[in-house]
Amino acid sequence: QQPVQSPQAVILREGEDAVINCSSSKALYSVHWYRQKHGEAPVFLMILLKGGEQKGHEKISASFNEKKQQSSLYLTASQLSYSGTYFCGTEKVTGGTSYGKLTFGQGTILTVHP
Amino acid sequence: DGGITQSPKYLFRKEGQNVTLSCEQNLNHDAMYWYRQDPGQGLRLIYYSQIVNDFQKGDIAEGYSVSREKKESFPLTVTSAQKNPTAFYLCASSSVIYNQPQHFGDGTRLSIL
Protein backbone atom coordinates (compact mmCIF):
# COMPACT_ATOMS: atom_id res chain seq x y z
CA GLN A 1 0.00 0.00 0.00
CA GLN A 2 0.97 3.58 -0.65
CA PRO A 3 2.29 5.46 2.41
CA VAL A 4 0.16 8.37 3.56
CA GLN A 5 1.68 11.83 3.78
CA SER A 6 0.34 14.70 5.85
CA PRO A 7 -0.39 17.48 5.46
CA GLN A 8 -1.26 17.59 1.75
CA ALA A 9 -0.11 21.20 1.48
CA VAL A 10 1.74 23.74 3.59
CA ILE A 11 2.14 27.49 3.10
CA LEU A 12 4.94 29.24 4.96
CA ARG A 13 6.68 32.59 5.17
CA GLU A 14 10.44 32.64 4.93
CA GLY A 15 12.02 31.67 8.24
CA GLU A 16 9.10 29.57 9.47
CA ASP A 17 9.31 25.87 10.27
CA ALA A 18 7.34 22.91 8.93
CA VAL A 19 6.93 19.19 9.57
CA ILE A 20 5.84 16.65 6.97
CA ASN A 21 4.80 13.19 8.05
CA CYS A 22 4.84 9.86 6.22
CA SER A 23 2.99 6.84 7.64
CA SER A 24 2.88 3.26 6.46
CA SER A 25 0.79 0.25 7.44
CA LYS A 26 3.65 -2.09 6.53
CA ALA A 27 6.87 -2.90 8.38
CA LEU A 28 9.51 -0.70 6.82
CA TYR A 29 13.20 -1.18 6.19
CA SER A 30 13.89 2.38 5.16
CA VAL A 31 12.29 5.67 4.22
CA HIS A 32 13.60 7.91 1.44
CA TRP A 33 12.76 11.61 1.09
CA TYR A 34 12.79 13.50 -2.23
CA ARG A 35 11.89 17.03 -3.31
CA GLN A 36 10.48 17.82 -6.75
CA LYS A 37 10.18 21.24 -8.34
CA HIS A 38 7.36 21.68 -10.86
CA GLY A 39 8.12 19.89 -14.15
CA GLU A 40 11.51 18.68 -12.92
CA ALA A 41 12.95 15.41 -11.69
CA PRO A 42 12.74 14.50 -8.00
CA VAL A 43 15.95 15.22 -6.10
CA PHE A 44 17.15 12.95 -3.30
CA LEU A 45 17.28 14.48 0.19
CA MET A 46 18.04 11.63 2.61
CA ILE A 47 17.45 8.02 3.64
CA LEU A 48 16.29 6.97 7.09
CA LEU A 49 16.91 3.47 8.35
CA LYS A 50 14.89 1.50 10.88
CA GLY A 51 16.25 2.11 14.36
CA GLY A 52 15.06 5.68 14.82
CA GLU A 53 18.15 7.21 13.29
CA GLN A 54 17.82 10.92 12.67
CA LYS A 55 19.63 12.53 9.79
CA GLY A 56 20.21 16.09 8.76
CA HIS A 57 20.99 18.03 5.64
CA GLU A 58 21.61 21.74 6.27
CA LYS A 59 18.35 22.95 7.83
CA ILE A 60 16.39 19.88 6.77
CA SER A 61 16.37 16.85 9.03
CA ALA A 62 14.27 13.72 9.43
CA SER A 63 13.49 10.94 11.83
CA PHE A 64 12.10 7.42 11.55
CA ASN A 65 9.98 5.84 14.26
CA GLU A 66 10.16 2.11 13.58
CA LYS A 67 7.44 1.20 16.08
CA LYS A 68 4.94 3.57 14.49
CA GLN A 69 6.22 2.96 10.93
CA GLN A 70 6.32 6.71 10.56
CA SER A 71 8.90 9.18 9.32
CA SER A 72 8.88 12.93 9.77
CA LEU A 73 10.73 15.55 7.72
CA TYR A 74 11.62 18.76 9.57
CA LEU A 75 12.29 21.98 7.66
CA THR A 76 13.59 24.77 9.85
CA ALA A 77 14.02 28.46 9.02
CA SER A 78 12.52 27.81 5.59
CA GLN A 79 13.94 29.49 2.49
CA LEU A 80 12.27 30.30 -0.82
CA SER A 81 14.28 27.48 -2.40
CA TYR A 82 12.49 24.95 -0.18
CA SER A 83 9.30 25.33 -2.22
CA GLY A 84 8.28 22.19 -4.09
CA THR A 85 6.55 18.87 -3.59
CA TYR A 86 8.05 16.53 -1.02
CA PHE A 87 7.67 12.78 -1.45
CA CYS A 88 8.49 9.96 0.89
CA GLY A 89 9.37 6.60 -0.61
CA THR A 90 9.16 3.54 1.60
CA GLU A 91 11.02 0.26 1.31
CA LYS A 92 9.30 -2.70 2.93
CA VAL A 93 10.99 -5.38 4.97
CA THR A 94 11.33 -8.42 2.73
CA GLY A 95 13.54 -11.49 2.61
CA GLY A 96 13.93 -11.39 -1.13
CA THR A 97 15.67 -9.35 -3.78
CA SER A 98 13.31 -6.43 -4.05
CA TYR A 99 15.69 -3.99 -2.43
CA GLY A 100 15.49 -0.57 -3.94
CA LYS A 101 11.80 -1.02 -4.77
CA LEU A 102 10.12 2.04 -3.33
CA THR A 103 6.47 2.91 -2.86
CA PHE A 104 5.92 6.65 -2.90
CA GLY A 105 3.41 8.74 -1.00
CA GLN A 106 1.11 11.18 -2.77
CA GLY A 107 3.31 14.15 -1.95
CA THR A 108 3.12 17.30 0.19
CA ILE A 109 3.17 20.66 -1.60
CA LEU A 110 5.29 23.20 0.28
CA THR A 111 5.07 26.86 -0.69
CA VAL A 112 7.38 29.42 0.90
CA HIS A 113 6.52 33.10 0.47
CA PRO A 114 8.85 36.08 1.06
CA ASP B 1 29.29 14.15 -15.53
CA GLY B 2 27.36 11.00 -14.72
CA GLY B 3 23.61 11.01 -14.94
CA ILE B 4 20.43 9.74 -16.51
CA THR B 5 19.23 10.92 -19.90
CA GLN B 6 15.63 10.59 -20.95
CA SER B 7 14.42 11.36 -24.45
CA PRO B 8 12.41 12.87 -25.90
CA LYS B 9 11.32 15.54 -23.43
CA TYR B 10 7.86 15.74 -25.04
CA LEU B 11 6.11 13.01 -27.00
CA PHE B 12 2.77 12.80 -28.73
CA ARG B 13 0.95 9.59 -29.48
CA LYS B 14 -1.83 8.91 -31.91
CA GLU B 15 -4.61 6.48 -31.09
CA GLY B 16 -3.55 2.87 -31.63
CA GLN B 17 0.14 3.70 -31.80
CA ASN B 18 2.99 2.28 -29.74
CA VAL B 19 5.67 4.71 -28.61
CA THR B 20 9.03 4.09 -26.96
CA LEU B 21 10.62 6.28 -24.31
CA SER B 22 14.38 6.18 -24.03
CA CYS B 23 16.36 6.03 -20.77
CA GLU B 24 20.17 5.85 -20.66
CA GLN B 25 22.45 6.07 -17.62
CA ASN B 26 26.22 6.29 -17.23
CA LEU B 27 26.28 5.92 -13.44
CA ASN B 28 27.22 2.22 -13.66
CA HIS B 29 24.04 1.37 -11.73
CA ASP B 30 22.64 -2.13 -11.94
CA ALA B 31 19.05 -1.22 -11.04
CA MET B 32 16.74 0.87 -13.21
CA TYR B 33 13.11 1.89 -12.75
CA TRP B 34 10.22 3.44 -14.66
CA TYR B 35 7.61 5.54 -12.87
CA ARG B 36 4.45 7.23 -14.02
CA GLN B 37 3.36 10.52 -12.44
CA ASP B 38 -0.12 12.00 -12.92
CA PRO B 39 -0.95 15.59 -11.94
CA GLY B 40 -1.11 16.04 -8.19
CA GLN B 41 -0.14 12.45 -7.54
CA GLY B 42 2.90 10.56 -6.42
CA LEU B 43 5.13 8.28 -8.44
CA ARG B 44 3.78 4.86 -9.36
CA LEU B 45 6.16 2.07 -10.35
CA ILE B 46 5.64 0.59 -13.81
CA TYR B 47 8.62 -1.78 -14.21
CA TYR B 48 12.00 -2.26 -12.62
CA SER B 49 15.14 -4.17 -13.45
CA GLN B 50 17.96 -5.15 -11.13
CA ILE B 51 20.17 -6.85 -13.68
CA VAL B 52 20.60 -7.07 -17.43
CA ASN B 53 18.09 -9.35 -19.20
CA ASP B 54 15.79 -9.44 -16.17
CA PHE B 55 12.93 -7.17 -15.12
CA GLN B 56 9.84 -7.29 -12.92
CA LYS B 57 6.41 -5.72 -13.11
CA GLY B 58 5.65 -2.89 -10.77
CA ASP B 59 2.25 -1.76 -9.57
CA ILE B 60 0.85 -0.53 -12.91
CA ALA B 61 2.55 -2.61 -15.64
CA GLU B 62 -0.54 -3.23 -17.81
CA GLY B 63 -0.20 -1.60 -21.23
CA TYR B 64 3.57 -1.15 -20.91
CA SER B 65 6.60 -3.22 -21.89
CA VAL B 66 10.34 -2.90 -21.26
CA SER B 67 13.63 -4.48 -22.23
CA ARG B 68 17.04 -4.52 -20.55
CA GLU B 69 19.59 -5.70 -23.09
CA LYS B 70 22.35 -3.41 -21.85
CA LYS B 71 23.22 -2.21 -18.37
CA GLU B 72 23.05 1.41 -19.49
CA SER B 73 19.67 1.30 -21.21
CA PHE B 74 16.10 0.60 -20.09
CA PRO B 75 13.57 1.68 -22.76
CA LEU B 76 9.84 1.77 -22.00
CA THR B 77 7.23 1.09 -24.67
CA VAL B 78 3.75 2.47 -24.13
CA THR B 79 1.50 0.18 -26.13
CA SER B 80 -1.90 0.84 -27.65
CA ALA B 81 -3.33 -1.29 -24.83
CA GLN B 82 -2.60 1.54 -22.39
CA LYS B 83 -5.85 3.47 -22.65
CA ASN B 84 -4.84 6.49 -20.62
CA PRO B 85 -1.16 7.11 -21.38
CA THR B 86 -1.10 10.88 -20.86
CA ALA B 87 1.34 11.40 -17.98
CA PHE B 88 4.84 12.42 -16.95
CA TYR B 89 7.21 9.43 -17.13
CA LEU B 90 10.33 9.29 -14.97
CA CYS B 91 13.24 6.90 -15.24
CA ALA B 92 15.54 6.28 -12.28
CA SER B 93 18.56 4.18 -11.40
CA SER B 94 20.32 3.05 -8.26
CA SER B 95 22.97 0.73 -6.97
CA VAL B 96 21.64 -2.71 -5.97
CA ILE B 97 22.76 -2.30 -2.42
CA TYR B 98 20.41 -1.51 0.41
CA ASN B 99 19.90 2.10 1.36
CA GLN B 100 21.02 3.69 -1.87
CA PRO B 101 19.22 6.73 -3.32
CA GLN B 102 17.52 6.66 -6.67
CA HIS B 103 18.75 9.11 -9.28
CA PHE B 104 16.12 10.42 -11.66
CA GLY B 105 16.16 11.60 -15.25
CA ASP B 106 14.39 14.82 -16.30
CA GLY B 107 11.31 12.95 -17.50
CA THR B 108 9.26 12.59 -20.68
CA ARG B 109 5.82 14.16 -20.95
CA LEU B 110 3.54 12.01 -23.11
CA SER B 111 0.31 13.36 -24.57
CA ILE B 112 -2.39 11.95 -26.84
CA LEU B 113 -3.17 13.65 -30.14
Pick B103 or A50 by higher pLDDT: B103
Asked whether the predicted pLDDT for residue A98 surpasses 60, the reply is: no
Residue B55 Cα, gap to closest chain A Cα (Å):
11
DSSP element (H, E) containing A72: strand A70-75
Domain total in chain A: 1
Question: What sign results for the dihedral spanned by CA atoms A76, A79, A84, A89?
Answer: negative
Cα(A33)–Cα(A112) distance, rounded to whole angstroms? 19
User: What backbone phi and psi angles, to 5 degrees, belong to B70?
Assistant: -130, 150
- Closest-CA residue to A85 (of A113, A109, A52, A69): A109
Partner-chain residue, chosen from B42, B45, B97, that has the shortest CB–CB distance to A107 = B42
- CATH number of the CATH domain containing A44: 2.60.40.10
pLDDT recorded at residue A55? 65
pLDDT in tens, A36-80: 998 899 999 988 887 656 666 678 999 888 888 899 999 999 999
Strand order in the sheet with B76-78: B4-7, B19-25, B76-78, B64-66
Q: Report CB contact under 8 Å: A41, B107.
A: yes
Asked whether the predicted pLDDT for residue B43 surpasses 60, the reply is: yes
Task: Give the structural domain span for A15.
Answer: 4-95+102-113
pLDDT recorded at residue B3? 93
Strand order in the sheet with A60-65: A4-6, A18-23, A70-75, A60-65, A55-57
pLDDT in tens, B47-86: 999 999 999 999 999 999 999 999 999 999 999 888 899 9
Average pLDDT, chain B: 92
Residue from A37, A99, A108, A109 whose CB has the most chain B CBs within 10 Å, to mutate? A99
Cα(A92)–Cα(A28) distance, rounded to whole angstroms? 4
